Chains A and B, each alone.
Chain A
C-alpha cells in the first residue's frame, strides 16, 4: 500500500495488490514444508522418549544406593556397580587429560601455523577420515600398541590411551571449526600490534574459540563414555569386585558392566542393566553439565 495514495483504499481492496502473482502457491508449499520439518523433529524426539520410557520402566525399580556403592555379585539383589562407576571416572578423566591438550594443540597448529599446502590438506582430510573409523579398530590398535608393544597390559592407562586416540579426531575437527570461526579481523588487529603467532593464538584466538571447542569436547566425552567395543578388545574386565587403584590397575567401566549384566539370562539382571544405563546417563549428563558450565564461563570472558 502506497502512503502517497490520496484516497484511502476500501476494505477488501487489500486482497489483490496489483497483478495476480504466484504467491498462493508459494504459501502452500511453505506450509507443507513446515509440517514435514516438524514431523522430522517429532520423530527423533518420539524415538528418544520411547527408549527413555523403556529403560526407566524396567530399571527405575532397581535403582538404589547400594547399586552405586556395592561391588558386583552373582545375586542380582545385592549386586552393585561401584568399581564400574569409579573405573569410568578414571578412564574418562585420563582420556580427557590426554586427548584435549593434544587435540586442541593439533587444531591450533593446523589452523594458525601450518602452511596451506598439499600436505596440510592431506593431513586434514585424513583426520576427518579417522573420525569415521569404527571404534573396534581403535581397540585393535590399542591392543597391539599399548597392551602388547608398550607392555602396559590390560590396565586403566591402556584403556584411556585407546579412548584418547578414538576421540582425538573429533576433538581436533571440532576445535578447528571453532578456531576457524574466529573472525580474521581479530587476528589482523593483533598481528598489526607486533604480536607473535603464539601471542595471537593464546590471547585472542583461543579465548574466542573456547566456547566452540568445549562444545566439541562435550560431544567427544559423550562418545567416549559409552564406548564398549574398544575397551573390550584392550581388556577391560567384565567382572571386577575391587576399585581401580591407579594407572596400572585392572578395571571395568559402566558400559562393560551393562553389557555383562544384559547378557545374563535372568530377568533380574536385565532390569539391573537398565538401572545401570540410567546411572550411565546421569554420569553423562553430569559431565556434560560441567562442560556447559565451563563453556558459559568462557563465553562470559570474551566480551563481544
Chain B
C-alpha cells in the first residue's frame, strides 16, 4: 500500500523538524471535494492544500460543512450512514479514497481530536497505550505514556494518578489527554474538530499554545467557530460559507494574516467583520 511508504516508525516519537523546503509542500491536497448525505449535497467543489507543519484553520458559520470536510480527510465520514463523496483527497500524493487504501491505515496516519473530550473509560495510562498497542507497539509503555503526556502538556498534572480514570479529569485536561492519545500513535497530521468549544478560556489558551508547539512536528487542521482562535493560532485559514440549497462551499483559503486583513471575497469580509454569521 502506498500510504505506508510515508510511515514513520511508531517507536520514535520525535521526528526531524521540517526543513524549509518541505514547509510549502502540501501534505494533504483536496481537489473538487463533494460530499453527499443521501440526496443532500452537503459540501460542494472544495479545493485546498494543507501545507506540512503548519496549522490550517477552517472557519465559517454553522452547518457549512467544515467538520464534514475535516472528517473526510481521515475517512471518519465513512462511519456516517448514507455519506458519499466525490473528488480527490490526496495524502502524500495517494488518494485516500482509492479502493486499495484501507481507512484503518489512513486513520493511523491522520489522527483526530473531537469537539467533546472523549477519553476512553479506562485509566489515563491505558488511554495513551491502547492506540499504540493495537497498532503493534512493542516498546516501553511507561516511556510512551510520559512522552505523549509531556507533548500534550499534561504530564505534570497527572503523573501521580496515571491509574485513575481518564474521565476523572477536568474538561480541559480530558481534551489534552485526547491529544496525547492521538500523539501516542505518532501520526503525521492531526485533525481537530472544534477542540476548544467545550472548554473555558484558560483551557482554550493552553490548547492553542500546545498546538503551536505541536506544529513543529505535526501538521494540524483545526475547525473552529472562534475567529480569534483562527487568527491567533493558525498559519492558513479557509473560510467556508453556505451556498445555494444549503450546500457548504469554500469561499477562500489564504495565509491567516492576509485573510483577516485583506480578504479577497466580500463574503469573507462580511463574516470576519461580524456583519454576518
Select one of B74, B119, B123, B134 contacting A192, CB under 8 A. B74
Complex A-B, nearest 7 residue pairs according to Cβ-Cβ distance, in ascending order: A194-B108, A193-B131, A303-B165, A192-B112, A185-B118, A194-B107, A189-B118
Inter-chain contact B111/A193, CB cutoff 8 Å: yes
Residue of A at shortest CB range from B113? A192
Complex interface: chain B residues within 8 A of A192 (CB): 74, 76, 107, 111-112, 114, 182
Complex interface: chain B residues within 8 A of A45 (CB): none
Complex interface: chain B residues within 8 A of A116 (CB): 81
B171 CB to nearest A CB, Å: 14
18 A-B contact pairs sorted by A residue (CB < 8 Å): A183-B118, A185-B116, A185-B118, A187-B79, A188-B112, A188-B118, A189-B114, A189-B118, A191-B76, A193-B182, A194-B104, A194-B108, A204-B120, A208-B121, A302-B121, A303-B122, A303-B166, A304-B121
A264 to B130, CA, bound (A): 63
A207 to B118, CA, bound (A): 16
For window 159-174 of B, CB contacts with A under 8 Å fall at 165-167
What class of interface size applies to chain B in its complex with A? 20 to 34
A186 to B122, CA, bound (A): 11
Instruction: Tell me if A296 counts as interface (CB < 8 A to partner B).
Output: no
Inter-chain contact B104/A195, CB cutoff 8 Å: yes
Complex interface: chain B residues within 8 A of A207 (CB): 121
Complex interface: chain B residues within 8 A of A191 (CB): 76, 79, 107
Inter-chain contact A185/B114, CB cutoff 8 Å: yes
Q: A280-304, CB under 8 A of B: which get 1 and which 0? A: 0000000000000000000000111
Residue of A at shortest CB range from B127? A189
A225 CB to nearest B CB, Å: 33
Residue of A at shortest CB range from B103? A191
Complex interface: chain A residues within 8 A of B112 (CB): 188, 192
Inter-chain contact A196/B104, CB cutoff 8 Å: yes
For window 23-44 of A, CB contacts with B under 8 Å fall at none
A203 to B126, CA, bound (A): 11
Residue of A at shortest CB range from B106? A194
Complex interface: chain A residues within 8 A of B114 (CB): 185, 188-189, 192
Inter-chain contact A186/B134, CB cutoff 8 Å: no
